[in-house]
């Protein structure tokens, strides 16, 4: 298993990165986290060799006081050479809930990320489809992806990407401009998007799962995962991350946390080598769940 991937064919990126969503607060409705702890987590991540940070301007505490992009800038700017910061645009959150930004508003959202991160160009920008977890099947992304493609041509964006999409969305976008990455909900116990992953693998597109460890739910409560974890003297979360890095050469993992200790635990998952027997046993975790819910 190689630990590096070439994003867009030209940007070296470590396959085990860091997701910033949990830095501002614990969960969607949790209390704000201490900003200094968030800055410490980011500095430690870079010290451990992480060079891929996934964020968004809308990753903030509910009161708006703690914002992931601001923490990243405060902790890491000026950014070291080779650090890749990915962000996403599309959803707009307000007092009445969330909605999708129209194409005409995407420039302002991109410029907002540039400002809060202290950058002149964004390495990777995802167009996030939908405002919630479910993929909005049948919805066209053409006009909005074209708007981002124009910003790429202007030099504000290096590479374009998609989040929360199906195979039709990916095909539609690729007819407009190159797609460097896809970020969908996928993990050891939720493999609905295996076909999208396969397309990405055949095309050299990075596949970056969100919810890599089950999004805090009980998805990892499986005796088979626990058995493999015990063999490797690891946690089930570490095995879930190691599985993502092993299942395909194009997968990038972006586990998030607001704790330095948990960060260090996640990074150690990159050194776990799963055997063919491990993978065969873990393959049964998904099939058993499918049979349970059939």
Our answer to whether residue 59 is catalytic in this structure is: yes
| Residues β-bridged to residue 124 | 86, 159
Please say whether the beta carbons of 208 and 238 come within 8 A. Answer: no
Give the active site residue among 5, 18, 58, 59.
Answer: 59
What span, in angstroms and rounded, lies between the C-alpha atoms of 70 and 60?
9
- What CA–CA distances, in Å, run from 204 to 2, 20, 152, 199, 207? 14, 25, 20, 9, 9
Contacts 24+ apart (CB under 8 A), 114-120: 114/156, 116/57, 116/67, 116/69, 116/70, 116/73, 117/55, 117/69, 117/72, 117/73, 117/77, 117/85, 117/87, 118/73, 118/77, 119/79, 119/85
What span, in angstroms and rounded, lies between the C-alpha atoms of 275 and 263?
24
What residues are labeled active site?
A: 59
């Amino acid at each position: 298993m190689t630990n590096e991937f070439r994003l867009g064919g030209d940007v070296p990126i470590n396959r085990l990165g860091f997701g910033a969503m949990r830095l501002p607060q614990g969960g969607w409705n949790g209390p704000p986290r201490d900003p200094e702890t968030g800055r410490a987590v980011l500095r430690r991540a870079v010290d451990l060799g992480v060079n891929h940070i996934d964020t968004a301007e809308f990753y903030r505490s509910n009161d708006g006081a703690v914002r992931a992009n601001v923490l990243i800038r405060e902790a890491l700017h000026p950014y070291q050479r080779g650090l890749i910061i990915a962000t996403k645009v599309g959803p707009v959150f307000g007092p009445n809930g969330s909605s999708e930004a129209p194409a005409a508003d995407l420039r302002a959202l991109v410029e907002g990320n540039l400002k809060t991160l202290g950058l002149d160009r964004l390495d990777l920008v995802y167009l996030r489809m939908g405002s919630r977890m479910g993929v909005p099947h049948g919805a066209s992304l053409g006009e909005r992806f074209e708007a981002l493609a124009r910003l790429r041509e202007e030099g504000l964006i290096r590479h374009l990407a998609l989040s929360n999409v199906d195979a039709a969305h990916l095909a539609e976008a690729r007819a407009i401009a190159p797609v460097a990455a896809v970020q969908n909900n996928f993990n050891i116990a939720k493999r609905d998007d295996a076909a999208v992953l396969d397309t990405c693998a055949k095309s050299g597109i990075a596949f970056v799962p969100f919810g890599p460890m089950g999004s805090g739910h009980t998805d990892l409560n499986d005796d088979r995962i626990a058995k493999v974890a015990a063999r490797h003297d690891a946690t089930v979360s570490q095995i879930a991350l190691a599985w993502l890095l092993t299942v395909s050469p194009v997968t990038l993992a972006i586990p998030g946390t607001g704790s330095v200790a948990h960060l260090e635990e996640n990074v150690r998952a990159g050194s776990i080598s799963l055997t063919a027997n491990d993978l065969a046993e873990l393959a049964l975790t998904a099939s058993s769940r499918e049979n349970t819910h059939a």
